[in-house]
Amino acid sequence: MRIASRIKTSVPPAYNAWATGQFSQTCKNISVNGSTLTASCQKADGRTPSTISIYLNPHIANLDGTLDWDGDKFALTCNNIGLAGASRLRAECKTSDGDTLGTYINLDEHVTNIDGTLKFE
């Protein structure tokens, strides 16, 4: 006997769209200071709250001169951290040989706006 089930969820469209990264589509005044991302992000009711921040260091690593989502503490071995556009984090990161490489990572891949709050997913 084969049993199949389907689960249907009822999630408001605004929350559904915001739970997939892409924070830059609903946030403005985006900036980076060190490893802290700051922005003003729209809430589900359309209001924009005061400025909010998320600390990126626990979510991004320096893997031999390249920013990567698999790890943490990138700010310990990267300098000149900033933004290239609204959602690309740029930095100069040290390699295992001691060289420095320019590298980028797209914050829209894992940073999301959940009802006016920046979250990592």
Domain encompassing residue 100: 14-120
Residue 3 lies in a domain: no
Q: State the average pLDDT over residues 70-83.
A: 98
3-30 residue pLDDT tens: 333 333 333 334 444 456 899 999 999 9
Residue 5 lies in a domain: no
Residue 8 lies in a domain: no
Q: What whole-number distance in Å separates Cα of residue 7 and Cα of residue 26?
A: 29
Average pLDDT score, the chain:
86
The domain that contains 90 carries what CATH number?
A: 2.30.60.10
Return the structure tokens found at 116.
């006016």
DSSP 59: T
Residue 6 lies in a domain: no
Return the structure tokens found at 100.
């420095």
What is residue 94's predicted lDDT score, i.e. its pLDDT?
Answer: 98
Residue 105 lies in a domain: yes
